[in-house]
Amino acid sequence: MTESNGTEMQKWKGGTVLFAGGTDWSSIGRNIAGKKKGAADAADASRAEKYPNLVSPRQLKALVDVRIAFIAAGSAACHCLAGGMDGKLYTWGRNEKGQLGHGDLLQRNVPTVVEGLSKHEVIGGAGGRHHTVVVTKDGASFAFGSNKEGQCGTGSIKSNPKSEELLKAPVEVQKISDCTAVACGAEFSIWLCDGKMWSAGGSQYGQLGHGTDHEYNAKDSSVKIMYEPQPTPRKISALSEKVIRAFACGHNHTLALDTEQAAYTWGNGGYGRLGHSVQKDEFTPKQVDALKGRMPVDKDSPAACGATSSFCTMIGEQLVSWGKLKASGDNTMYPKVVHDLAGWKVRTIACGAGTYALAAGVPGDADNSTVTWGQAMYGELAYGEKGKKSSANPDKCQALEGIYTHQVALGIGHSMFLVDPDSEKVKDFEVFEPEEAVSEATNPEAAEGTKGAAGKGKGTKRKADAPAAKKGKGKK
């Protein structure tokens, strides 16, 4: 999931949001069991008509007249963020943990202003599995949603193992200032503050970058390995001498790019997502050897991470990726050029759990293109009614061809494109407005692949993130 840097966004006058993918937030990514055939089919058909999959980009009724500064989601997120040029934050989507910040657990099917941030000018944000973090113009940060792993950075966490802390309204993040950007993993958060990185949340893969996974044995008479959460943001000291300019978080790993054209990764090493040629967890940031020397990172490279993958560009306008990009097939253990996009000037790139999107081109160029690919289920690749549902290889979104896309953002089952509002083609996109603006959230325990970290007590049991990654050095 890519970070949102509001500082850069403020240099322009804002864009228009186009949305594609699922609109039935209660069922996206979920396997609802126990339904009877017949009646269930009829109910499903009725629900699909009420909450359709948008296979072509659409404008959203609530945002038609709003100039948007940034959009954000996350590879583990099933909710959306959009920040207005006036500093207002709009959120919508799933909300069973309060991740929309509206003071309740009601699902929002339309973009809704977060009133709890009305006194602040939001310039960036990101979404985790069940939490959201934003940064404001004055360098502060606010978070809401699940704080079970301390991922909201409030400095404290409930000690009662049977009671998950849900922050339904924005709460200020502690111990940080001068922040310009944030990125969220599934259950952790990383902030960029004055060029330095700070982290908080779940630690079981070393994804916080502090040299440890906070492992301990919770039983005196037997072995019960747990991982202590970190609720207070802490500076990542291994990068304290570097100036970080771009970064992104996957479910349990991070990619950071510095001003010296170097790339660093840490966290879960399964599937080769760290790019170090071995499947080993790294507890502190480690430079990616393949991206230095004669092949350094491009000085303007964006950063993006999927659930088990990483992306950036190296010199020569070469997009490189590594990790596991497809549900089946081999892993890429170190950065390799995405040959289908060789020579493209990639400006913005984002990852869903298994989908990818990028934009290339320059303002005023008729060859501006937006490209998507991956394993999709809800039309989030935006190929249209007659287009493919999924694509193993990058392919252009024909509906967006020739339109300058400022930013792309992907989450579970959906995609967003922040486009030039002055393009002649933009006004021709259909406008979508759901029948129901607010609805009840469904049981989160029915979620498939969207549950929070399991475990009891003050820590968290190690979750399966196959293949099992070997421990990195530095663990205490």
Q: Answer yes or no: is 93 within a domain.
A: yes
SS3 (DSSP) at 228: coil
Q: Answer yes or no: is 474 within a domain.
A: no
Q: Name the residue range of residue 404's domain.
A: 6-32+48-446
Residue 60 class from Cβ within 10 Å (0-12 exposed, 13-18 middle, 19+ buried)?
A: buried
What token pair was written down for 318?
């070469």
pLDDT at 3: 46
- Give CA angle at 377 (21, 313), nearest 5°: 75
pLDDT at 357: 98
- What's 145's domain CATH number? 2.130.10.30
What token pair was written down for 173?
């993040």
DSSP 63-107: GTT--EEEEE--TT-SEEEEEETTS-EEEEE--TTSTT-SSS--E
Q: Answer yes or no: is 472 within a domain.
A: no
- Give CA angle at 62 (60, 68), nearest 5°: 80
Residue 170 contacts residue 133 (beta carbons within 8 Å): no
- In angstroms, rounded to a whole number, what is the distance separating the alpha carbons of residues 266 and 95? 29
pLDDT at 38: 56
What global pTM score does this model have?
Answer: 0.91
Q: Answer yes or no: is 453 within a domain.
A: no
Structural domain total, the chain: 1
pLDDT at 30: 83
Q: How many helices and strands, by DSSP H and E, does the chain display?
A: 2, 32
User: Pairing state of beta strands 54-60 and 431-432?
Assistant: parallel
pLDDT at 138: 98
Q: What is the pLDDT along the chain (476 residues), one digit of tens a residue?
A: 444 444 444 467 899 999 999 999 999 988 654 444 555 566 777 888 899 999 999 999 999 999 999 999 999 999 999 999 999 999 999 999 999 999 999 999 999 999 999 999 999 999 999 999 999 999 999 999 999 999 999 999 987 767 789 999 999 999 999 999 999 999 999 999 999 999 999 999 999 999 999 888 888 777 888 899 999 999 999 999 999 999 999 999 999 999 999 999 999 999 999 999 999 999 999 999 999 999 999 999 999 999 999 999 999 999 999 999 998 888 999 999 999 998 899 999 999 989 999 999 876 676 799 999 999 999 999 999 999 999 999 999 999 999 999 999 999 999 999 999 998 899 999 999 999 999 987 654 433 333 333 333 356 555 546 454 445 444 43
Instruction: Mark 47-59 as b/e (b = at least 16 C-beta within 10 Å).
Output: eeeebbbbbbbbb
- How far from 186 is each of 30, 306, 307, CA to CA, in Å? 16, 11, 9
Residue 35 contacts residue 104 (beta carbons within 8 Å): no
Q: Answer yes or no: is 464 within a domain.
A: no
* Selection from 148, 143, 139 nearest residue 187 by Cα: 148
3 state SS for 352-413? CCCEEEEEECCCCCCCCEEEEEECCCCCCCCCCCCCCCCEEEEEECHHHCCCCEEEEEEECC
Residue 331 contacts residue 325 (beta carbons within 8 Å): no
Q: Answer yes or no: is 43 within a domain.
A: no
Length of the chain, in residues:
476
Q: Cβ contacts of residue 399 below 8 Å, gap of 6+?
A: 56, 57, 382, 384, 429
Q: Answer yes or no: is 461 within a domain.
A: no
pLDDT at 476: 37
pLDDT at 449: 38
